[in-house]
Structure formats: structure tokens, C-alpha cells
């Protein structure tokens, strides 16, 4: 049996984190670096990615920053090619970028639909495909896509966002099915309510914020840092037999009803 203390280590592995400038992406980048990975912090916000990479280096880790729009296939090819040329391999991909337009379906415009689907689903596909090609050739690697509790439960105003997050699950499962024979794993993390820039509008409305906190079993929101452990787990040998899975990190949101405490 392998030494359990080393199963979560990522020394000498190269991890590419798309969306690393803030939120869950930043937390994941910091966590991977602490586990020993050489971390490539990529984001459309190049300055933000640079700050996270600098933070990693200031704490003794290895990191570099790249400006990357995951909807730009040429930019993806450039970044993936540069990382491969410099390091020779890419062992982990974490893709976090997403956008949401909260609006009832009957009020959705075609332009708004395209905006959400293009980034959340197409952009994730493009970066995952490019990195998966590298992993397929090296016959190893872990792909981690950020889905959501909205992949299995929705609410008014979340229809298109929820559809994309469900799509990411099936995308990851298909990568798992197609690349499993060559040693590449693909999984999803499905967070619950997490305090990130994307959810700041909810936090600004105390009644809405409290309602979400009270819905889950733990009675609170997650911090972005609480996603780092699950990301490191799926990136590491601790999850060597886990592929095609969805890891819900939601405080019990999808496990319980949560609307009423019966008098038992």
C-alpha cells in the first residue's frame, strides 16, 4: 500500500488552472502549489493571474502566469504549447471560468443564451480538449471541471446556467470514457453556494444570502478556500481510481430538503 502521507503530493507535476485570478480558481491554484505542483495561473485577467502566481512564489511555490481567454482557440494553443515546451508535460487541468445571466427563460434573449453557453460549455470544452490531447499522448493526467449543484437542482432564473453545468458533467464523463484506456482521468466538482465574485450580488442582499445559507445542512456558505482540498484530491494519486465522477462539495445542499424543520 502506498504511503498515505504522499498520496496527496503533487511534486514535479504541472497544473494548469484556468480562471486562476479569483474565486475558486485562485483557491485551487494556491492549493495545488502547496501540494507541490508547478502551477500555471491562467486567466483572461492577466494581471490578476500574475498576482496569484506571485503569491505562490512568495510562499515558496513554483508558479507562472498566462493571460488566457478560453474562448480563443489560438490563445489556448499558444499557452498549452508553451507550457508543454517548457515543462514537457501537463498533469492537471482545472477549469473554472463561468458566467450567469439570472433571468426567467421566457425573458432570455438569444444573445444572453449564447453568452452563457459559449463560456461555460464551449470555452471549457476548448481548453479541456487541448489539454486532453497532451495528456492522451503522455498517457496520464487529471482533468477537473467545475460544475455546480445546479447540474441536478435548479430554481427560477437559473435555467441556462443549470443546463451548462449539467452539460459539463456529461462532457467530463465522456472524456473519462474516451481517455480512461490511456490513463487519463476526468471528473467534476459541483460546489454549492460559495463566496466568490460571481455570487457577490447575492451576498449584497441579506435575505437572499441567508436563505441560501439555511438551505444546506451546515447552515452557511462555503469559502472559496474550501474547494482547494477537493481539487487537490482529484488532481492527486489519492483519487487514482476515480474518474467520470461528480464530487458534490455543497454542505449537504443536494442531500436534504432543507425548507422546513419538522417537529420530530
Active site residues: 161
Beta-strand relationship, 62-67 and 246-249: unpaired
| Nearest alpha carbon to residue 151 among 74, 59, 227, 247 | 247
Beta bridge partners of 95: 18, 145
Residue with cell 506571485: 54
CB under 8 Å to 234, separation ≥6 — which residues? Answer: 142, 144, 185, 187, 189, 242, 247
Distance, in Å, from the CA atom of 58 to the CA atom of 33, rounded to the nearest integer, reads 11
Amino acid at each position: 500500500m502506498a504511503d498515505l502521507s504522499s498520496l496527496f503530493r503533487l511534486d514535479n507535476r504541472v497544473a494548469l488552472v484556468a480562471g486562476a485570478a479569483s474565486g475558486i480558481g485562485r483557491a485551487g491554484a494556491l492549493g495545488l502549489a502547496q501540494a507541490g505542483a508547478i502551477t500555471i495561473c491562467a486567466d483572461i485577467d492577466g494581471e490578476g493571474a500574475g498576482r496569484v502566481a506571485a503569491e505562490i512564489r512568495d510562499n515558496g511555490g513554483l508558479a507562472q502566469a498566462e493571460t488566457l481567454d478560453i474562448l480563443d482557440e489560438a490563445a489556448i494553443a499558444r499557452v498549452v504549447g508553451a507550457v508543454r515546451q517548457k515543462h514537457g508535460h501537463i498533469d492537471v487541468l482545472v477549469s473554472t471560468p463561468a458566467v450567469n445571466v439570472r433571468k426567467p427563460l421566457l425573458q432570455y434573449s438569444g444573445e444572453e443564451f449564447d453568452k452563457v453557453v459559449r463560456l461555460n460549455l464551449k470555452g471549457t470544452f476548448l481548453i479541456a480538449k487541448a489539454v486532453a490531447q497532451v495528456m492522451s499522448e503522455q498517457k496520464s493526467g487529471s482533468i477537473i471541471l467545475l460544475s455546480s449543484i445546479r447540474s441536478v437542482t435548479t430554481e427560477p432564473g437559473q435555467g441556462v446556467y443549470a443546463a451548462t453545468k449539467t452539460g459539463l458533467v456529461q462532457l467530463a464523463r465522456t472524456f473519462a470514457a474516451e481517455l480512461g484506456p490511456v490513463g487519463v482521468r476526468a471528473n467534476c466538482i459541483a460546489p454549492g453556494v460559495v463566496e466568490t465574485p460571481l455570487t457577490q450580488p447575492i451576498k449584497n442582499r441579506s435575505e437572499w444570502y441567508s436563505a441560501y445559507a439555511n438551505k444546506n445542512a451546515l447552515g452557511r456558505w462555503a469559502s472559496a478556500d474550501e474547494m482547494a482540498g477537493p481539487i487537490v484530491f482529484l488532481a492527486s494519486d489519492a483519487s487514482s481510481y476515480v474518474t467520470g465522477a461528480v464530487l458534490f462539495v455543497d454542505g449537504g445542499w443536494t442531500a436534504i430538503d432543507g425548507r422546513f424543520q419538522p417537529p420530530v
